Amino acid sequence: MRLGIGLHRVVASRRETSFAVLALVAILALPIAGAAQPHGDDPGNFWSRLQGEVRTYGQLAFPVGEFGGHVGLGAGAGFSSTFFLHRERMVGLRVEGNMAVYGTRSFRPQPTTTVPLDVRARTTNSIMSAGIGPQIYLLTGAVRPYVFGTVGFTSFVTATRTRANATSPRWHDNEGPYASSLDIDDVGMAMNAGGGLSIRVRDGMALDIAAVYQHNGIAEYMTRGYRNPDHVDWNRWYRETLNDRRYDPERIGEPVVSEANLVSWRIGASFDLF
């Protein structure tokens, strides 16, 4: 993360810190709420009554605000686990992780070795995030609406990976890694707020549909409009990639610094754990 992105984040730090404090208070309050046992129950049995569920889903990520002016629709997948704090399975602690890809580009750079190789490369722009926070079901029964919020981190990653295949019978015709680089990796705080609908399809399994707003604040990231790979000095890139070269403006262009918030739609399935 470079100095410019740090200066941009200072401006928004007070607002984001306030949101984070409120969210953390809610998270810390969950064990207290879960520990409040009905009359006549033995508090010592709290952990033996702990229940949980896990869900996996695909998602479409729609950039909003400034972010929507620079990048397009993203797609990916994620998972979450919810640990309920009482037998009614209404209030729980949610842990989730997600990934969405919002841009890829494939190309065929020229190899710099004397071995005849067919080299193929792909640059991928992706967003990875994880968080923890409360989840509350609003109703019981076969159809259960819920709301949740999480606090965690988001990483905006642009990486290039190349694979090479020998084209001469003299060499082994096995494809394998050739060179790769991590071009951008900007990590910041993320806060999610969302709601969903759990529709039971059979015992222990439900269809899960949700919508989520993800506040990432200011971030540094690449867009799809990076430089044409045909105009790159690949000899220099191969040599310096091996020395962990990053932020190569000749090959990937200059990163964008702006708000980078998302609205995601998710659909998947949830399964009772215990």
pLDDT at 207: 97
- Whether the pTM exceeds 0.85: the reply is no
pLDDT at 30: 54
Percent of the chain exceeding pLDDT 70 equals 59
Residue 39 has pLDDT above 50, yes or no: no
**Calpha distance 194→146 (Å, rounded):** 9
Query: How confident is the prediction for the chain on average, in pLDDT?
Result: 76
pLDDT at 37: 47
Percent of the chain exceeding pLDDT 90 equals 44
Tens digit of each residue's pLDDT (9 = 90 or more) over 136-184: 999 988 999 999 999 999 999 988 777 666 554 444 445 555 566 777 8
261 — pLDDT class (breaks 50, 70, 90): very high
Tens digit of each residue's pLDDT (9 = 90 or more) over 95-143: 999 999 998 877 766 655 555 556 677 788 999 999 999 999 999 889 9
Highest mean pLDDT among 33-47, 189-203, 221-235: 189-203
- The better pLDDT of the pair 45, 96 is held by 96
24: tokens are: 């953390």
113: tokens are: 């070795």
pLDDT at 2: 44
